[in-house]
Structure 1
């Protein structure tokens, strides 16, 4: 009888842990009802910003100009372009979402005409490691403008 009680107790514990983990969510990223790649909004320590469907932070490059990407070669290795046609989700304004043709002939997603990028060193959803790099890489608001401030570190100072 003890062995059966132990199995039931273990099974209940596993279900409680699974339920608790499911309730934790995934960095504020909602499950999207879209058929392909998407741009959505997500909450961050800098406010509401743009992210892809998996919650990876999206950036703009202030050395670009609206409608034109200047990030090529080594720049593109560190800052991969958000490719092609994407759908708007969440608070993203579909009228601000578009595409441009890159210098290499590929298509890149834009928001408010600014080309969108990932940062290669953002390994997980919600990371902001690219924020403020060289004072030219910034996260993007739902209105399509950069947030040009740095997140606070755990000691109350500015990080990075």
Structure 2
């Protein structure tokens, strides 16, 4: 029985160590949020330029404004809290995924652009919402960063809801 307890403790210790090895640091979380905001702004600027639908264009203008503001917030928070942003595998994957989505949007035919953009917006906001819920908020250690992420989560949820509504209108 004693060997069993020692084995369980060893397995739990290894699991906790492994989880902590893949946990994001505050510096990585801030960089990821900066990258997410930049990707949203880039996609939205393209939509402002290419969209023919007034609802899509209005949504895109809102995304430029709100994601620019949110990007500035994370930069200010990093400076004020002395968190030096650093890259992570999660941030690199987000950057690569965003680049691929932008390629797809740039290739979209004029008649298909609005549907493609709104599909991308639903996907990007859902991915960020999931990451906020499962990784970023739980792993943030700095109280100001955690508060920023919780506030941002509410905005991301609203953006997702708006994107889904417009996407349904385009069907």
TM-score for the superposition, normalised by structure 1: 0.33
Larger fraction in helix: 2
Larger fraction in strand: 1
